[in-house]
A and B are shown apart, each in its own frame.
Chain A
Amino acid sequence: MKSNSIIGMAIMILLSNVNSYAQIKHAQTSTMKVFGNTASEQMIEKAGSGGRLAKVDWNGDTKMATITYDATKTSADEVLKRIALAGFDSEKFLAPDDAYAKLAKESQYVRTLKPVSEHQHHEHETHSTTNNSSEHGTQLALVTSRYFVVKDALVKDDAKTSAASAQKLLDAIQAVDMNKLSSAEHTVWMKVMNNLRKDAADMTKAKDIAGQRLSFASLSNNIYALVKVAKLETQVYYQHCPMFNDGKGGHWLSKENGVKNPFFGAKMLSCGSTVETIN
């Protein structure tokens, strides 16, 4: 009886082993830290398995992944690489930024391993401190730089981003301190200020991208008047699309000479031409 139960147990152990490693020969196991959040578990395990090459069991609490793989066919590094290409950092690999960005919002975990680029950090700071700057050019430079963000969003047919960036533009417009403008800038600013506010506000409220584009056309005309007098560091191109608004046409400003049409986006990306280069 006793020997029977021992044999039975032995068989059960064998069976359970066979079950868990049924698909993977020459199995080898290693445990590695993989970063993610509770919503990431399935994605990490699926990406790591790469079909049938390996089995990954990730623990959301400890962030530890137990990787079982056929050592003759693949390696733990290859498994981690696949996981990283799906957007999840590990001790060995950092995910490409675009792969991370593609993750659903709820899967976007905190990237503790990813170094913050000093360069980017620096740029960010100069932006946020611009408002306090005593230099003349920079207040309007902030307005125009935020205008370009709005334009780029329209080029990409991205109504959400353009509404959000229009709000930021509006903030910059509100924050302009007229006392610090030169007299020429001041004169123009007085003329366009209300229209700028209205168009930017309309863009944040517009129902769809078509509505945003109508406001954007008007906004662009006033920004144009502004850059004509403001001293900007870089060249700006004043561009025209003859087909916008049922053939009435529309203008916009761009930092590049190459045409990327914000009125039509992908539908007619390079329709239009540069009509004036503003230094």
Chain B
Amino acid sequence: MSKKIITVVLFLMANMAVFAQKVVRHDLYVRDTVVNYAGKAKRAIAVNGQIPMPTLTFTQGDTAEIVVHNELDESTSLHWHGVFLPNKEDGVPHLTQEPIKPKSTYTYRFPIIQHGTHWYHSHSGLQEQIGMYGSFVMKKRLDDTTFRKGIDDLPTVPIILSEWTNYNPDNIQRMLHTANDWSAIKKGATQSYVEAIKEGKFKTKVTNEWKRQLAMDVSDVYYDKVLMNGAHSTDLEVVDGRSLKAGDKVRLRISNGGASSYFWLRYAGGKITVVANDGNDVEPVEVDRLLISVSETYDVVVTIPNENTAYEFMATTEDRTQSASYFIGHGIKQLISPLPRLKYFEGMKMMNDMMKMNGDLNDMGMKMSLNQMDMNVVMYPEITGDGKKKVDQDMDHKGMNHGEMKQKEDPGRYNANALADIVTLNYAMLESPHSTALPKDAPVRDLKFVLTGNMNRYVWSMDNKILSETDKIPVKKGEVLRITLYNNSMMRHPIHLHGFDFRVLNGKGAKAPLKNVLDIMPMETDTIEFLANEEGDWFFHCHILYHMMAGMNRVFAVGDYQNPYLPDKAKAYKALQRESNMIHFMAQNDFATNGNDGQAMFQNARWQLGTEWRLGYNAMHGYEVETHLGTFIGKMQWFMPFVGFDYRYRKMGSDEHEKNIFGQTNKKDSRKALSLGFMYTLPMLVNFQAEVYHDGIVRLQLMREDIPISRRVRGDFMVNSDLEYMAGLNYVLTKNMAFRTHYDSDMGFGVGLSLNY
């Protein structure tokens, strides 16, 4: 008996010695600050006085204890991106904890049970955009069986990428929902009619508008600066106290902490060797460049080829407007050429070809997946040549059995690696060094999500439902979830799963790579799977911050998890749903010589309450206010039934009366009317509005706003069955101001200044 006890005690002690848990504590002080990254002093959030937040480093086996001192005037939270932990430590306010209240302290504590490059960020509102991101590195133990000599023992530098905008991110979000194209003007990506004609792409532009598309870019937000570890340019001459020399290899642990930017990574000193992705080792693969999606991490190894030279490692935004660099090594700086400008109209043409009239995408049987076929290559001059030289495609093939046809359908025309000498990483090239197979006896449940959304109202969803329209998805603990994702929207989405790594079924069999973020391009279908063996409410969402805030989220509720921090889970979930379907306000008024025209609007993902007014300067010209409350139907949100209320006053002459084309007349100077009607977006983005008033009077109206005539000139017109008409031109001066001239059938000709909020 006593012998047994001694053995047990000995065993316990031995265990304790091996797994002696080291508690690694970090204190994080979150404070408001003012920064100047791009010529203007702006508000930001700094942690321990720095942006990005400090790099937190642990070794597998440690216990992390992170104390957050929230000194802000608003609540905050910290999410440990890609880290396995108990659900209550996951850091999603209203889902795994209450928000950390202003002027309070909160402690996260969890064991470190994995290794790899990860990062952490605020999961509250848009705080991630203004500084709350940082690297989170978990080192392998030296005795780890997966320790890779020549990789895991290299000098290592954590790098976190981010963007900076001088605009308040709340404003950016509002502007996105009102289809304000100021970002496009700043980027030179308006894709207006004049620009189209100059490039001989008039037909492409018309087709695009016929298909009810706004000009599209690879990203939606204009940034003033991009940063690597908070700087635009950094000289890396010394790592771990050792000066770098020729032949040295350096491992960069790169996380994309950008809120909405993808970055191209390129190196002036030769190939980039990818050794890990999302914190998981992969078989080393050599590439010339890779695109890091929002919130992904990549570990890459670069070599310094020569003495006395520092080689540029550059991160360029996907829209190619901004970049940041590290110069690795000592001495003269070897530059890398900037990426050439995108051929936007080629992209527009490609999109036209892919889009059906109903807004669905048609992949023409190409079965796209894993970023292998990149439709965007049509826009990349470095792959498909610069736009000026036209490749004569069908000259040699006239009359050939399958000449032109074959070329048109050839999926190879989107395969970047077949088209060019340079190798671009895609997910099919990633392979885990060890088996990642899931237990065979676990029950498998198949789920399918279609990624949906539209640009016009900036609503992003899954299966055309935003978070506030869905319940949590119940999952049995121990179940394997096999999720098929199809992107039927026209933007790419980096889909992130909290709490687990999933296998990406990419043709590598048992060695499928493990990830926690998967970028899915338009028309791609990808399948992921994971074993749901950790209880709790796990967020599953698009990691583009503005898509997440628009509602592109789901929650997997694994098991029946009791969260000590959230006694009332149902109420908390309601709060989470509310935060991802916020009401946005916009207003606009034209102060013109012939009167005031304007509108104001409250809207969320589905509803819109709007008021339009036309106020003349005298009773002859009249005063008119129309108010509509409507809801948008369908994925593309082209259809909106509404109820309305109109009020107008107009002093008419003795024999004057208003008569519409249906012969209905209205003689009153003052008219109040309730109405029922609908608005429908026709091809060419013309809004057709039909309404019938309580007195039986019918009104039909056609209207088009924001016709992109040239880079800064926008046209608009309106005509209705009351024989009223209007046409105008705007010259966009700033984000909130335009010079406007218009002619109105009631009020005549006017010029003025149009302000919008």
A contact set with B: CB distance below 8 Å = 81, 84-85, 91-96, 98-99, 113, 115, 117-119, 243, 246-247, 258-260, 264, 266-271
The answer to whether B335 and A93 have CB atoms under 8 Å apart is: yes
With contacts A113-B332, A115-B306, A119-B305 taken as known, whether A98 is within 8 angstroms of B413 at the C-beta atoms is no
A259 CB to nearest B CB, Å: 7
With contacts A94-B333, A247-B400, A266-B391 taken as known, whether A117 is within 8 angstroms of B306 at the C-beta atoms is yes
Q: Of B335, B396, B397, B418, which is in contact with the most chain A CB atoms at under 10 Å from its CB? A: B335
The answer to whether A98 and B333 have CB atoms under 8 Å apart is: no
A123 CA to B570 CA, complexed, in Å: 67
The answer to whether A269 and B400 have CB atoms under 8 Å apart is: no
Specify which of A84, A247, A269 is in contact with B401 (CB 8 Å cutoff).
A247
B670 CB to nearest A CB, Å: 59
Q: Of B306, B308, B385, B392, which is in contact with the most chain A CB atoms at under 10 Å from its CB? A: B306
The answer to whether A270 and B397 have CB atoms under 8 Å apart is: no
- A–B pairs, 24, beta carbons within 8 Å: A85-B335, A85-B337, A85-B338, A93-B333, A94-B334, A94-B335, A96-B335, A98-B337, A113-B332, A115-B308, A243-B400, A243-B402, A243-B403, A247-B401, A259-B418, A260-B418, A267-B395, A267-B407, A268-B397, A269-B418, A270-B410, A270-B419, A271-B406, A271-B410
A95 CA to B337 CA, complexed, in Å: 8
The answer to whether A269 and B413 have CB atoms under 8 Å apart is: yes
A271 CA to B309 CA, complexed, in Å: 42
User: Which residue on chain A has the smallest CB distance to residue B327?
Assistant: A93
A99 CA to B312 CA, complexed, in Å: 15
User: Which residue on chain A has the smallest CB distance to residue B338?
Assistant: A85
The answer to whether B417 and A95 have CB atoms under 8 Å apart is: no
B413 CB to nearest A CB, Å: 7
A264 CA to B407 CA, complexed, in Å: 11
User: Does residue B393 face the partner (Cβ distance < 8 Å to A)?
Assistant: yes
A267 CA to B406 CA, complexed, in Å: 11
Interface residues of B in 424-470 (CB under 8 A from A): none
Q: Would you give the 0/1 interface string for B373-400, flagging 1 where the beta carbon is closer than 8 Å to chain A?
A: 0000000000001000001110111001
A95 CB contacts on chain B under 8 angstroms: 335
B305 CB contacts on chain A under 8 angstroms: 115, 117-119
A96 CA to B306 CA, complexed, in Å: 15
A118 CB contacts on chain B under 8 angstroms: 305-306
**Shortest beta-carbon contacts, A-B, top 10:** A270-B412, A115-B306, A96-B337, A94-B334, A258-B418, A93-B333, A266-B391, A270-B418, A96-B335, A84-B335
User: Does residue B307 face the partner (Cβ distance < 8 Å to A)?
Assistant: yes
A257 CB to nearest B CB, Å: 10
User: Which residue on chain A has the smallest CB distance to residue B395?
Assistant: A267
B336 CB contacts on chain A under 8 angstroms: 96
A111 CA to B393 CA, complexed, in Å: 39
A24 CB to nearest B CB, Å: 19
User: Does residue B268 face the partner (Cβ distance < 8 Å to A)?
Assistant: yes
A258 CA to B412 CA, complexed, in Å: 9
A118 CA to B338 CA, complexed, in Å: 26
A99 CA to B419 CA, complexed, in Å: 21
User: Does residue B415 face the partner (Cβ distance < 8 Å to A)?
Assistant: yes
User: Which residue on chain A has the smallest CB distance to residue B306?
Assistant: A115
A38 CA to B731 CA, complexed, in Å: 47
The answer to whether A267 and B306 have CB atoms under 8 Å apart is: no
With contacts A115-B309, A247-B401 taken as known, whether A267 is within 8 angstroms of B332 at the C-beta atoms is no
A247 CA to B396 CA, complexed, in Å: 12
A119 CB contacts on chain B under 8 angstroms: 305
With contacts A243-B397, A259-B412, A269-B412 taken as known, whether A94 is within 8 angstroms of B309 at the C-beta atoms is yes
A214 CA to B334 CA, complexed, in Å: 42
The answer to whether B417 and A258 have CB atoms under 8 Å apart is: yes
Q: Of B338, B396, B400, which is in contact with the most chain A CB atoms at under 10 Å from its CB? A: B396
The answer to whether B268 and A96 have CB atoms under 8 Å apart is: yes
Q: Of B392, B412, B417, which is in contact with the most chain A CB atoms at under 10 Å from its CB? A: B412
A258 CA to B417 CA, complexed, in Å: 8
A258 CB to nearest B CB, Å: 5
B335 CB contacts on chain A under 8 angstroms: 81, 84-85, 93-96
Interface residues of B in 335-388 (CB under 8 A from A): 335-338, 385
B304 CB to nearest A CB, Å: 11
User: Which residue on chain B has the smallest CB distance to residue A152?
Assistant: B421
The answer to whether B332 and A94 have CB atoms under 8 Å apart is: yes
A91 CB contacts on chain B under 8 angstroms: 332
User: Which residue on chain B has the smallest CB distance to residue A81?
Assistant: B335
The answer to whether A268 and B407 have CB atoms under 8 Å apart is: yes
B385 CB contacts on chain A under 8 angstroms: 266
A269 CA to B414 CA, complexed, in Å: 11
B323 CB to nearest A CB, Å: 12
The answer to whether B400 and A246 have CB atoms under 8 Å apart is: yes
A117 CA to B270 CA, complexed, in Å: 11
A36 CB to nearest B CB, Å: 16
User: Which residue on chain B has the smallest CB distance to residue A120?
Assistant: B305
With contacts A95-B335, A119-B305 taken as known, whether A267 is within 8 angstroms of B391 at the C-beta atoms is yes
A260 CA to B416 CA, complexed, in Å: 12
A84 CB contacts on chain B under 8 angstroms: 335
A146 CB to nearest B CB, Å: 18
A15 CB to nearest B CB, Å: 34
A115 CA to B306 CA, complexed, in Å: 7
A178 CB to nearest B CB, Å: 35
A156 CB to nearest B CB, Å: 9
With contacts A94-B333, A95-B335, A243-B402 taken as known, whether A115 is within 8 angstroms of B417 at the C-beta atoms is no
A119 CA to B269 CA, complexed, in Å: 12
The answer to whether B407 and A99 have CB atoms under 8 Å apart is: no
A96 CA to B419 CA, complexed, in Å: 22
Interface residues of B in 296-337 (CB under 8 A from A): 305-309, 332-337
A270 CB contacts on chain B under 8 angstroms: 410-413, 415, 418-419
B396 CB contacts on chain A under 8 angstroms: 264, 267
A93 CB to nearest B CB, Å: 5
The answer to whether A267 and B392 have CB atoms under 8 Å apart is: yes
User: Which residue on chain A has the smallest CB distance to residue B385?
Assistant: A266
A264 CA to B333 CA, complexed, in Å: 40
A85 CA to B400 CA, complexed, in Å: 45
User: Which residue on chain A has the smallest CB distance to residue B401?
Assistant: A247
Q: Of B268, B337, B411, which is in contact with the most chain A CB atoms at under 10 Å from its CB? A: B337
A247 CB contacts on chain B under 8 angstroms: 400-401
With contacts A84-B335, A93-B335, A258-B415 taken as known, whether A267 is within 8 angstroms of B309 at the C-beta atoms is no
A38 CB to nearest B CB, Å: 24
User: Which residue on chain A has the smallest CB distance to residue B415?
Assistant: A270
User: Which residue on chain A has the smallest CB distance to residue B312?
Assistant: A96
A10 CA to B397 CA, complexed, in Å: 75
Q: Of A91, A268, A271, which is in contact with the most chain B CB atoms at under 10 Å from its CB? A: A268
A5 CA to B400 CA, complexed, in Å: 86
> Given A93-B335, A96-B337, A243-B406, 13 more contacts at CB 8 Å?
A85-B337, A94-B332, A94-B335, A95-B335, A115-B306, A119-B305, A243-B402, A247-B401, A267-B396, A268-B410, A269-B419, A270-B411, A270-B418
